[in-house]
Chain A
Amino acid sequence: MSGPPVPEDGLSGYLDGELTPAERAEVEDRLETSPEWRAILAEVTEARAAVRGLPVREAPSGFWDAVLSRGAEERPVERSRRWQVLAPIAATAAAAAVLVAVLLPGRETVTPAVPALVDAHAAEASVAADPISRLAPIGVPVGLGR
């Protein structure tokens, strides 16, 4: 079936609830009659869900300032000429960086076992100094979820 070109922007606006009532009615009309529109709507919906499922990563502090200041320092003519050479390399590197950033696991999270560490400290301190005053406090069955 051939019809008017599929407006992906219109479908995005439809999904985001940004269309006017008239535009929304028009899109729904097309969805009812066009399998192609319905297929594209499903693809857009799936892609948006996948993007939203990605973990949020924050750039290190100072990263964007460094990028912007580096750009402002370069002269327009040099930047234009250099950009023609570097653009494909930069695009590839950026894609690789994004891929690695998404695929690499973040640093492992840890939660110190505070009661056990308090015991370990008291045990060592009680060998180096008077044992009763250092051990008696951990003989108290209160605090830290004990």
Chain B
Amino acid sequence: MSAPTRAADRGHARLVVALLVMLLPLGAVRAARGATGPDAGERLLEEARRAATDHEFAGVVVVEWVEGGRWHRERVAVSGESGILEVGRERRLLGRDEHRLVEGPDGWLLLWSDRPSAPSPAAKYELRVGPGPLVAGRATRLVEAVLAGEVRERSYVDAESGLLLRREVLDADGRVVRVVGFVSVSGLRPATGGSSEPWPDDVEPSAPEPVEELDDPFRAPETAGDGYGLVARHRHADGTLQLFYSDGVFGISVFEQRGRLDARRLPAGGRVDEVAGDEAHRYPVPGGEVLVWEGDELVFTCVGDAPIEDLRTFAEDLAREPEPGILTSLARAVLAPFRWG
């Protein structure tokens, strides 16, 4: 064999190896989508998390939620290109890796720049995987998260790309209370690079910073509610503490602010609710539920995509008086008379 021929063979061998390396992840992805083993549901959900930024597509998503006893329905344009996810035309949001930006009147605002690590959904839920219906004209795999025999969430994953095409949230009685799903999607393929819209470089940094130590009276229990574990805690520039909890399927953020609640300036449209005997204000929003109440020296705002029963149980748990230390008890006893009103 002549030298040029051997060189050509080595070149072909390298090409074959490179193709195999490129195809291996694709094979693993396909295997996950077709798998029915005990980990299949978890792998499909993890793949869906990455697929939104690993693929190019353009589509329309419908958001449906219940508010005031009525179903509401809104359409949102969504597209992905070169790892940049764009959501909404009237209110644009961008996502790449762990960065989340929202476009405001003065430019882009950085909402988030950290990667929390959620617990495994299989630790709390039974994940059932099976063939799903067509969603936006595409074949799907259905992943049901089941708790105590009741389906609490349905995820419809695109059978080819792994993109999550539809998500349904159900309450404890098995009723669907929230839906986010594609009604149309086109050009769905693996991302190739070369974005027509570059990542903005004039971003105002306002993302919260990770926080290690907490001062009294802030609290951050490691677990709360029905199986929600503390995943991350961050401090916003104005001093607000943000805690993020997850049970692997749903997420709940707790925002703690020192002071007394001035409820007169809360957004209109809230409903009166109750948390641990204290009056609370409840806001159903397109993405979930919000509870605001005043506890011991703190104002709490809980935001979650979990059904309201989960959020209430979580809030009741959080509102329980923590066991104070001796110095804290002494300081509170001395200062108590001066905290009237």
Contacts and interface: CB of A to CB of B under 8 A. Distances in A.
A139 B283 contact: no
B268 A145 contact: yes
Given A127-B114, A132-B164, A137 B180 contact: yes
Interface residues of A, number: 49
B65 interface: yes
B259 interface: yes
B262 A123 contact: no
A144 B286 CA distance: 10
Interface string B267-298: 11100000000000001011110101000010
Contacts of B151: none
B129 interface: no
Give the interface size class of chain B: 35 or more
Contact of A119 (B52, B111, B265): B111
B164 A58 contact: no
Contact of A107 (B76, B297, B301): B297
B91 interface: yes
Interface in B139-192: 155, 163-164, 167, 180
Nearest to B59: A132
Contacts of B246: 128-129
Given A127-B116, A130-B49, A132-B85, A109 B341 contact: no
A131 interface: yes
Contacts of B337: 60, 97, 101
A112 B111 CA distance: 17
Contact of A124 (B72, B102, B244, B258): B244
Interface string B27-71: 000000000000000000100110011000000010101010000
Interface stretch (B6-14, B93-101, B315-323): B93-101
B305 interface: yes
Contacts of A104: 338
Interface in A70-108: 97, 100-101, 104, 106-108
Contacts of A111: 261-266
A134 B52 CA distance: 12
Given A133-B164, A142-B74, A107 B100 contact: no
A99 to B, nearest CB: 11
Given A123-B111, A131-B52, A138 B91 contact: yes
A4 interface: no
B260 interface: yes
A131 B287 contact: no
A140 B76 contact: yes
Interface stretch (B16-24, B194-202, B249-257): B249-257
A122 B85 CA distance: 14
Given A112-B240, A144-B267, 11 more contacts: A56-B341, A97-B338, A108-B258, A114-B292, A125-B305, A126-B112, A135-B95, A137-B65, A137-B288, A138-B87, A139-B88
17 contacts: A107-B297, A111-B261, A111-B263, A112-B299, A115-B267, A118-B287, A120-B253, A128-B117, A129-B251, A132-B87, A134-B251, A136-B87, A138-B93, A139-B78, A139-B87, A139-B90, A146-B91
Interface of A: 55-60, 97, 100-101, 104, 106-112, 114-115, 117-146
